[in-house]
Structure 1
């Protein structure tokens, strides 16, 4: 799929959030500002980090802030560790002849110390550290190394990484293992979203053109008040959609629908009505390239309360009209619009 991968470092290959949070709070405390907990930091931190600090400490020179940050980082008891699957992914790249690079905003001395400590040096053709705005370097990196943009992906955990990939015409790969929550990442519209680097390896190993379309079922589930169930999932870029899944071999589609609804929501449904079939081919909204045949239904809940499994992160009962105002994946939007035209 890709012959070249450019990796971010923090939150993509290594987990350095504990000392980074300590160092950030050290900076804030030096200027009498309230400190942050982990979740507030993840919500607010962004790159380029000069913009982040300008919002919190306007007018303070960046060099002064960096001095305080380095001291806080050095004094932190928080550990920096490789993220799960990092080494395996890099070994896989080397074994398959995939060229690998690093482009990171991390302070250069700290980065090169970690690179050596974790034994990751041999995996990379070139590394770039201390880059405040990655968009300013990415085009030169691609040009200097003769990379074909169509065969190159930038892999990162922050919206700035996604923006950087798009700036250079590269495929953007968002990983959910790092600093930024799935919601803000999805708003940057990455081409591919994966939970971690193991997920990226599986995507790259899949021979796309030789795989047949996958038949799936899904339904607008109505409750007694006429509302429909919307679920939010990482797989669809943290957009809202309907519960459903793949049809197993030998399984009638309506049986598959009832099983998937039961597994994903804990609900039992009664009457089921077929509405439409949709082609969904390599949707940019889905976390990996796939060709789906989506068999869409309407069903009515007869029992049970919603209990989500690990495929969805949030749910809501809403009217069809209110659902259209949500951040929906496109197939769900098409289904709702069709249902509104012909509710039967």
Structure 2
């Protein structure tokens, strides 16, 4: 990870569902948790319909106790998943354009670092925050690092936190929530590919 000095733009990404293409992993992990409570399995469509952040809101929606959120995080750490195919090229493009690239995730450090190393992303991330229980608070703490700040996430919660922290809110489709759900949170823009994020950011820098 490199110095963040003298960069004018900060782009922070959510991890699960945003950088990682892991709805299947999320589903499998939750089914392990549901099995623990003798509950029926859910599908990927169920995840996209019910997923909420903070995690305890999701477990509540599924009729599970708050402790199930921690169990889910543990199960996720045991499972591999792939990054979005364009992830490495996009993060590298942003850094090459002088952007500070960050990640803010509620997932554990062990899980995120394992993903980042396996997917070849660890060297294209400047700021890595894991175990983040309050994304608004974290984003506010790094807002001073650049004149322009963008947060990219795949849930309404990400949009809400971005706005509250003074970030531009970019919602990305294909993650844990549907496009309609994302649009309901009124982000600045909804994109379908991480490459769209790079295009939006670097076009402004070049202009």
Give how far 1:38 is off.
Answer: 0.8
Say whether residues 1:50 and 2:56 are aligned partners: yes
Q: Do the aligned partners of 2:73 and 2:107 also contact (CA within 8 Å) in 1?
A: no
Say whether residues 1:66 and 2:65 are aligned partners: no
Corresponding residue for residue 3 of structure 2: none
Instruction: Give the one of 28, 39, 49 matched to 2:34.
Output: 28
Rg larger in 1 or in 2? 1
Question: Higher strand proportion, which one?
Answer: 1
Corresponding residue for residue 5 of structure 2: none
TM value normalised by structure 1: 0.54
Say whether residues 1:190 and 2:187 are aligned partners: yes
Corresponding residue for residue 146 of structure 2: 147
Give how far 1:95 is off.
Answer: 1.2
TM value normalised by structure 2: 0.87
Q: 1:207 to 1:135 in 2, by over 3 A?
A: closer
Corresponding residue for residue 116 of structure 1: 117
- Please give the alpha-carbon distance, in whole angstroms, between the structure 2 residues aligned to 1:177 and 1:192: 14
- Please give the alpha-carbon distance, in whole angstroms, between the structure 1 residues aligned to 2:167 and 2:66: 33
Which structure 2 residues correspond to residues 225-264 of structure 1 after superposition, within 5 A? none
Unaligned 5+ runs, structure 1: 211-344
Say whether residues 1:127 and 2:128 are aligned partners: yes
Which structure 2 residues correspond to residues 244-323 of structure 1 after superposition, within 5 A? none
Q: 1:170 to 1:32 in 2, by over 3 A?
A: same
Q: Do the aligned partners of 1:104 and 1:130 also contact (CA within 8 Å) in 2?
A: yes
Give how far 1:209 is off.
Answer: 11
SS of residue matched to 1:164: helix
Corresponding residue for residue 40 of structure 1: 46
Provide Cα deviations, 1:136-164, integer angstroms capped at 9, x if missing partner.
32212324xx333xx11001111111011
Say whether residues 1:136 and 2:137 are aligned partners: yes
- Please give the alpha-carbon distance, in whole angstroms, between the structure 2 residues aligned to 1:100 and 1:193: 19
Q: Do the aligned partners of 1:27 and 1:69 also contact (CA within 8 Å) in 2?
A: no
Give how far 1:40 is off.
Answer: 1.2
Corresponding residue for residue 154 of structure 2: 157
- Please give the alpha-carbon distance, in whole angstroms, between the structure 1 residues aligned to 2:87 and 2:49: 24
SS of residue matched to 1:105: coil
Q: 1:126 to 1:73 in 2, by over 3 A?
A: closer
Corresponding residue for residue 242 of structure 1: none
Corresponding residue for residue 199 of structure 1: 196
Corresponding residue for residue 108 of structure 2: 107
Q: Do the aligned partners of 1:20 and 1:73 also contact (CA within 8 Å) in 2?
A: no
Unaligned 5+ runs, structure 2: 1-7
Corresponding residue for residue 99 of structure 2: 98
Instruction: Give the one of 5, 10, 14 matched to 2:11.
Output: 5
